[in-house]
Amino acid sequence: MLVESEGTIAGIRRCVSGIRAEGGAVGLVPTMGALHEGHLSLVRAARQRGDEVVVSIFVNPAQFGPGEDFERYPRSLEADLELCRRNDVFAIFTPDVREMYPVASLTRIHVAGLTEGLCGAHRPGHFDGVALVVGKLFNIVQPDRAYFGQKDAQQAAVVKRMVADLNWPIEIVVCPTVREADGLAMSSRNRYLSPQEREQAAVIYRALLRARQMFAAGEREAQAITAAVAQIIRDSGPWTIDYVAAVDPDSMRPMTQVSSPALVAAAVRIGHTRLIDNLIL
């Protein structure tokens, strides 16, 4: 029962009005396409809540830095549409860059504090770009709920804080990370990996599990835990570790002594592919 994909803001607003006119609630799943089981788990979570689901597919240039992978980011619109059809998505919003940014945005949304560490430190401006496009999508679709993956934990924290600070009448639902059989977190960027890298990339999750094990065994020194995680990754290949950190899951503030709940997060470059993952302790 998929309403056909809508490339225009006016079009998706008409779709949403249709849902509302029939008394339905709207769940937004914002994506950059190249859909995988992680995205589909968000769709299913929204359906289970009773929402009619709008999936947005937009590779947002504002959240990519110079030299990052905006140009080569995987695009697979036909396959994405088919996955949406099979998963009972109501409407797909597929704007192009001109529809979203008819002129360059002079307006910037910045969430201080939460965006300075972790990925924010390694991708300057990234979270401003995320906040901008998410704010735009919220105002375009006006959903009742919006669904994000725990894999992008810092993004989820930034969006939650932005929604609270700006009083958007939208519930943010964060869904568990979906993993491959060997534990690798699902990501569109996994498509970049060579078969060998793909196999090796599972080390990130294995290393994070070590953090969980240490915490369960009573270790509370953040430094000891993150060093052990980093060592496991380093021992497995010539990878560049952007960070391994233990932070408060809401404020993203680094912890010295780890107390529950804590987020242990890592960003690692496997070859040319930057992957992130995390676990809650």
Binding site for a second copy (CB under 8 A): 9, 13, 105-114, 131-132, 135-136, 139-140, 142, 161-162, 165-169
CB of 251 to a second copy, least distance (A): 9
Query: Which residue among the candidates 39, 110, 122, 126 is catalytic per the annotation?
Result: 39
CB of 7 to a second copy, least distance (A): 15
Contact (CB, 8 A) for 266 and 277:
yes
- What value, to the nearest 5°, has the Cα angle with vertex 265 and ends 245 and 110? 90
Structure tokens belonging to residue 32: 């950059």
Please name the residues in contact with 214: beta carbons below 8 A apart, sequence gap of 6 or more: 224, 225, 228
Contact (CB, 8 A) for 255 and 221:
no
Residue 138 or 215 with smaller CB distance to a second copy: 138
CB of 139 to a second copy, least distance (A): 4
Residue 169 or 218 with smaller CB distance to a second copy: 169
Residue 102 or 195 with smaller CB distance to a second copy: 102
CB of 146 to a second copy, least distance (A): 14
What's the N-to-C CA distance of the chain in angstroms? 40
CB of 113 to a second copy, least distance (A): 5
Report the distance separating Cα 137 and Cα 171, nearest Å: 14
- The neighbour count for residue 179, using CB atoms within 10 Å, is 16
**Is 39 one of the catalytic residues?**
yes
Report the distance separating Cα 244 and Cα 266, nearest Å: 4
Residue 13 or 49 with smaller CB distance to a second copy: 13
Residues across the chain:
281
Beta 171-175 vs 145-149: how paired, if at all?
parallel
DSSP 221: B
Active site amino acids: 39
